[in-house]
Chain A
Amino acid sequence: MDILAVLIPVSLLLGLGGLLAFWWTLRRGQYDDPEGDSHRILRGDYDDHPKS
């Protein structure tokens, strides 16, 4: 059962990591236009360089 001492912190950290990633995407406005983004991903315009 000693493995729990490792696994529990690991699962908590993974959850926290997910939450931080979610917070980051939220701050970057990635949920503002889901429909448009689903079309934009198929465009080749900015494949070589990001839109400035």
Chain B
Amino acid sequence: MTDTLHGPAPISACPACIATPSALDRAQAAANDRGARIMLSVPDAHCAVCITTIESDLEKMPGVRSARLNLTLRRVSVEAESDVTPAAIIEKLETLGYPAYELDPGQLSMTETDKQGRDLLMRLGVAGFSMMNIMLLSVAVWSGATDATRDLFHLISALIAVPTVAFSGQPFFRKAWAGVKAHRLDMDFPISLAILLATGMSLYETLNGGAHAYFDAAVMLTFFLLAGRYLDFRTRAVARSAAQELAALEVPRAIRLTGEAEDTVPVAELAVGDLVLVRPGGRIPVDGVVTAGQSELDRSLLTGETLPVFAGAGLVVTAGAVNLTGPLTVRVTAAGKDSSLHRMADLVAVAENARNRYTTLAERAARLYSPSVHILAFGAFVVWMWLTGGDVRHALNIAAATLIITCPCALGLAVPAVVTAASGRLFRQGLLIKDGSALERLATVDTVVFDKTGTLTMGAPEPVDLAQIPDEDLAVGAALGAASSHPLAQSLAQAARARGVIPVLLEDVAEVPGHGVQASWHGARVRLGRASWVGADPLDVTAAYLAVGNRPPRAIAFADRLREGAHEAVAGLQAQGKRVLLISGDVPGAVRDLADRLGIADWRAEALPQDKSDAIAALQAEGRKVLMVGDGLNDTVALTTADVSISPASALDAARVASDIVLLGQSLAPIPVAQRIAARAVRRIRENFAISFGYNIVAVPIALVGLASPLIAALAMSASSITVALNALRLR
């Protein structure tokens, strides 16, 4: 499981190196005549009103044929004409108050998952109904049916049980067989052995008019274990479909300039020396040097810097930065395997190999369980062969009873039940667990490392002290800001709109790439941009400068807004006695500010990706269990190095893939809650082991001395299964 989940990391960590344009192909395949099916994840949907609002409002949109909200998976599926884009639907949901994320409509894998789930459910249903019928007949035998009646009832039971076991037991038999071929004994082998031996022995007894038949026990065992298997499958399916299929939005293509022509080529085909055009809003696909054009670059995902940097001819740029304002021509200095993005991907791969594969409690228990049960059953067989002087039938009967009574229900049912209950609770809190073992790893955490930009903060600057700016100036600033795609300008325009300021009408609006926006207003020149260009003295904080006519320029300071719940998360974790650290790639001033505001004593600034993971490795060397919370490309290595990692849904693809848990909502507040739930879940798992161990201590001696009647076997098994399942449900 772990392998398949983390497998794509090196590829996705390097969006620029993928040669196959699979995203494009899939989009085109979806947009055929039948219209498109769009899947969106809507993490905030939770109530009856949400269903009505979302479905009826989406169906009112032109081109939408039908919309259906699945509340269990928090997912909307929309059938629409092919000209309806997911972006339009996301926008519509956004105005309704539900943030949404596009899911990869990898229809094939989705139906494949559905098919597997239905298949398991069908086997479970067959086992359940057979179990009930056989139990009816068994009760008659237990209450005293003898001779011909008993044999008849056994025979009818056999007619139901044998086909049922053959059909419902297949998942276990198949996995056990695969295990045997690979020379390893896992849980499926004792399970299969118990089911087959019990059925086989009972069939033999029935045909020879024997007194004891274990058909009910064999089918019940199948039923309970299938229930556990199904719960396990559900947990994984929900996590996989939502976390892994969040669509990768970057298309790994670049625009190559050859002479006068521009052609779009896969990034993998670029060679050193090529000229690449990067349009505003685009991601720089390669490492290189700017040869022409002026613009600003947003490097926050690469380095954690909040402030865009100026880019002009001669600047060395790295792949992954976002070009903001003007077109840039970049000469490629490193592409493919040598680019810095790819080196990052290599680091992730190395960290992943180094991460010890975590053995879950269930795996450790199974390692202990399988051999001891086999030794016990075999020992019983040998001893009874010797005691009875070679009565194979009697000895086999006792061995079968031992196998049934030591039923691995606690392992097969209790752990999935606890994990399902816990991940269900976490899901309602807005956390998606991608890997069952993440729950156990989260429970042991004692140190939490946060990234700054995009994790503790929203990664988007907002203007401060707008009240000090006259409304007239603000109206000009808003109009200028709306004309630019620069994040500071956009944020200013938005903030002004939120204050109810109506932008003025401007003429001759022009964006000067790398500097700012200018226009004329009532005959006067107005400018919004960098300090030097506007003619102001630069402040030492993030700021944009506004000049209206000949009046002295005005500085508008910006600050990165704290993510919702950041205070609660940090305070909550500290209250739980966890050590909280802040490690960022940003400049010391900004990091110190944030650390002071949140009360984090331990902070480090200007950390490179490798520094972050080194810091975590150092903490681990002290024996600490580290939880890393981060979102950027520069965090991926650290996310993989840490014992367990969380990333927000807004994080870069690579970071989400590298982390174990995805935060679906905006708020960070669920993190301490999640830690508490995880700790409780692990306690429940241990309790369940203790319970089933207790049952075995009582029941196994009874089976070994040959006193286990089918009634006792059925009672012991159902009682232990039901107790552990109920104990798991206490977590809800």
Contacts and interface: CB of A to CB of B under 8 A. Distances in A.
Interface of A: 1, 4, 8, 11-12, 15-16, 18-19, 22-23, 26-27, 31-36, 39-40, 42-43, 45
B122 interface: yes
A25 B126 CA distance: 13
A22 B125 contact: yes
Interface in B41-97: 47-48, 51-52, 69-73
A43 B52 contact: yes
A26 B125 CA distance: 10
Interface stretch (B128-136, B473-481, B640-648): B128-136
| Interface of A (DSSP majority class) | helix
B122 A23 contact: yes
Contacts of A33: 70-73
A42 B47 CA distance: 11
A33 B234 CA distance: 12
Contact of B129 (A8, A19, A36, A43): A19
A15 B129 contact: yes
A1 to B, nearest CB: 7
A23 B51 contact: no
B48 A35 contact: no
B69 A36 contact: yes
23 contacts: A11-B133, A11-B136, A12-B156, A15-B130, A22-B129, A23-B122, A23-B125, A26-B118, A26-B121, A26-B122, A32-B72, A33-B70, A33-B71, A33-B73, A36-B51, A36-B69, A36-B71, A39-B51, A42-B48, A43-B48, A43-B51, A43-B52, A45-B52
A48 B429 CA distance: 36
What 7 A-B pairs have minimum CB-CB distances, sorted nearest first? A36-B71, A39-B48, A15-B133, A19-B129, A33-B70, A35-B72, A35-B71
B149 interface: yes
Given A15-B133, A33-B71, A34-B72, A40 B51 contact: yes
A36 to B, nearest CB: 3
B49 to A, nearest CB: 9
A15 to B, nearest CB: 4
B229 to A, nearest CB: 16
Nearest to A32: B70
A14 B465 CA distance: 75
Nearest to A40: B51
A26 B594 CA distance: 53
Interface in B265-318: none
B117 to A, nearest CB: 8
A23 B73 CA distance: 22
Interface string B94-128: 00000000000000000000100010011001100
In this complex, which of A22, A36, A40 has the most chain B Cβ atoms within 10 angstroms of its Cβ? A36
A4 B124 CA distance: 29
A33 to B, nearest CB: 4
A35 B130 CA distance: 28
A27 B122 CA distance: 10
A19 B48 contact: no
B133 A39 contact: no
A4 B156 CA distance: 12
Contacts of A23: 122, 125
B122 A36 contact: no
Interface in B155-188: 156, 160
Given A39-B47, A43-B52, A15 B71 contact: no
A42 B132 CA distance: 32
Contacts of A11: 133, 136
A8 B126 CA distance: 19
Given A32-B72, A33-B73, A12 B47 contact: no
Given A36-B72, A43-B52, A8 B156 contact: yes
A45 B51 CA distance: 11
Nearest to B153: A8
A8 B51 CA distance: 47
A33 B55 CA distance: 15
Contact of B132 (A15, A34, A35, A39): A15
Interface string B181-225: 000000000000000000000000000000000000000000000
Contacts of B122: 23, 26
A12 to B, nearest CB: 6
A14 B70 CA distance: 33
Interface string B133-154: 1001000000000000100000
A43 B47 CA distance: 12
Contacts of B136: 11
B660 to A, nearest CB: 24
A50 B114 CA distance: 25
Contacts of A36: 51, 69-72
A34 to B, nearest CB: 6
Contacts of B133: 11-12, 15
Nearest to B50: A39
Nearest to A17: B129
A40 B50 CA distance: 11
A29 to B, nearest CB: 8
Contacts of B69: 36
A49 B483 CA distance: 51
Contacts of A39: 47-48, 51, 71
